[in-house]
Amino acid sequence: MQESEETNDRWARLFALQDELAQRYRSFRPEGFYSLPPQERCITWTRALIHEACELDDELNWKPWKNPRDLVENRGHRLDETADLLHFLLQLALDQGFSADELFAAYVAKHAENQRRQEADPAYRPIDPR
């Protein structure tokens, strides 16, 4: 299996795991949060992403007035916060009806566009070492 196929399989698996978790929540709490309209849930997911990003930011020592945390020691916390971000991003994608393949293709296309922009911008050209 080629690396891109393996990556796409992992991405599809993450989508499936997230969908399974959402179905589980729905079965345990049929009148709960997942019974809200998708748009309302999507707004909540975007806010959750913002808050999780702030929690990750705290782990990255953004406050210069505080004693910095050791990044090696808090690696696990940073990994957990990053996983939380992925959790909410996946659910946001699912609630908007995006498939793993669609999001993967959109990312690849956006990646190529970002590369083209950098190549076209003189500020991103390699500096001649002479």
Task: Check residue 67 and report its DSSP letter.
Answer: P
Query: Is the confidence at residue 27, as pLDDT, over 60?
Result: yes
Class of the CATH-defined domain 3-99: mainly alpha
- What are the structure tokens assigned to 82, written together? 């990053």
Return the percentage of the chain with pLDDT > 90, whole number.
Answer: 68
Cα 29 from Cα 31, distance rounded (Å): 5
Q: Specify whether the CB–CB gap between 94 and 18 falls below 8 A.
A: yes
Least confident of 7-11, 26-30, 49-53, 83-87: 7-11
**Alpha carbons 70 and 61: distance in angstroms, whole number:** 9
Average pLDDT over residues 15-26: 95
* Contact assessment for residue 37 and residue 43, using Cβ atoms and an 8 Å cutoff: no
Q: What is the pLDDT confidence band of residue 19, given thresholds at 50, 70 and 90?
A: very high
What ranges do the domains of the chain cover? 3-99
Mean pLDDT along residues 44-73: 93
